[in-house]
Amino acid sequence: MSYFPEYVGEAPYAVSALIINGDSILAVSRKNNHDDFGLPGGKLDPGENFKEALIREVMEETGLTVVGLEPVYGAYCGTPGRHVVHWTMTYLCRVTGEINTKEAGLPRWVDPNRIIVNKGVPCSFAEYNIQMFKSLTKMSDDSFLRLQTEILVDPKFILGE
C-alpha cells in the first residue's frame, strides 16, 4: 500500500509503543471497541516531538512511565478516505510502574496476533502492524521478535485472504 503527501490528514504525525513482556505485548483497545487492540500511542500535540508524544501517550493510555526507547519502524499509517493518514513512528520501549489508566481504552498484555486480527476481523491498523513486524524480522536478532514476526507477517495466513 502506498501513500502520497496529499493524503496526509490534519494531524500528520503519530507515535506507537512496542512494549514486550515475555511472549506478550502491551496493547490498548479502541475506546469504542474493546475487541479491537492496537499499540499504545497517538497523535503528536502541537509543539511536541516524537519522543515527548510517545512518553505522554503511554502514560495516558497505560499509566506506565517510559524509561527507555528506541525507534524501530516508521511509515504512513491509515487508509486514504477511511482513516486519516499519519506518518507513524514506532518505538521499542522499556517501562516502569503499574498499569493504571483513566482512559476509555483497556490496556492488556496480549499475544502479538491480537493487533493484527481478532475473531477473524482485521484490527484497525493491521496493515501497519504487519509491515512493522516484517521490518523487525529483517533487523532483529531477538528470537521472540523473529518468531512472532514469522507468524504475523503473511497477510494471507493471518487474514485468510
Residue 1 lies in a domain: no
Q: What total of structural domains would you count in the chain? A: 1
Domain span at 122: 8-159
pLDDT band at 158 (very low <50, low <70, confident <90, very high): very low
pLDDT at 142: 57
- 59-96 pLDDT, tens per residue? 999 999 999 998 888 887 765 555 556 788 899 899 99
Residue 29 lies in a domain: yes
Q: Count Cβ atoms within 10 A of the Cβ of residue 37 and give its class: 0-12 exposed, 13-18 middle, 19 or more buried.
A: buried
Helices and strands in the chain: count of H runs, count of E runs: 4, 9
Residue 26 lies in a domain: yes
Residue 79 lies in a domain: yes
This prediction's pTM = 0.75
Domain at 135, CATH number:
3.90.79.10
> Is pLDDT of 46 > 80?
yes
- 96-131 pLDDT, tens per residue? 999 987 777 889 998 887 777 766 666 677 777 777
Residue 2 lies in a domain: no
pLDDT band at 45 (very low <50, low <70, confident <90, very high): very high
